Amino acid sequence: MTGISRLLDAIDGISEFIGKAVSWMCLAMIGVLLYEIAARYFFLSPTSWAHESTTMLYGTFCILAGAYTHKHQAHVRSEVIYHVLRTRTRAVLDLLTGAIVLVVFAVFFYAACNFAIESWQNHEVSSKSTWGVPVYPFKTMLPLGVGLVLLQSIAHWIRDLLVAFNLTPHD
């Protein structure tokens, strides 16, 4: 079991590290927006790039923070009956729903990879502003983020499997 424990701890560590690292993007977004406000209102010289930059930073932040949120089980969910059930019963239910989640995320990961690859092949640039920033690096964050959530979902599923078969206590 130590090999499985190490694997699960490694997955948790990746999610934790990425989540804490991308949290610093909030400061970057604030800095860009403050710069835009100063340029627009104090110097009467608005930027052509600030809005789109913060949109891309925020999208990247949301996508990459998903695995961290999932690790801490902080996504919104309805638990009216769930907490009344025994731990093992909850694990069995989580195995069933988790299997569906894994399939959906695997399909989503495949589609996101194709989406990013196509963007890179076309050297896609933004059509939303005159800035014309390349968007393919940002579109790469989608399969990365989905892959991280998929990985964290696998870790949760393995833990539920261990609990369902009484192989280890639930965290």
Splitting the chain (171 residues) into consecutive groups of 10 residues, what average pLDDT does each group show? 88 96 94 95 90 90 94 82 87 93 96 96 86 89 96 96 80 49
Which single residue is written with the structure tokens 């894994």? Answer: 102
pLDDT at 110 (0 to 100): 97
User: What does the pLDDT read at residue 127?
Assistant: 81
Q: According to the model, what pLDDT value does residue 1 have?
A: 64
Q: In the prediction, which pLDDT does 22 show?
A: 95
Phi, psi at 71, each rounded to 5°: -55, -40
pLDDT of residue 132: 82
Domain boundaries, the chain: 2-164
Distances (CA, A) of 76 to 42, 53, 73, 153: 41, 28, 9, 15
Whole-angstrom CA distances from 33 to 41, 46, 50, 53, 77 are: 12, 11, 7, 9, 33
Q: Using CB atoms within 10 A of its CB, is residue 75 exposed (0-12), middle (13-18) or buried (19+)?
A: exposed
> Is residue 34 within 8 Å of residue 116, measured between CB atoms?
no
Read off the pLDDT of residues 29-56 as tens digits, 9 standing for 90 and up: 999 999 999 999 999 999 888 888 898 9
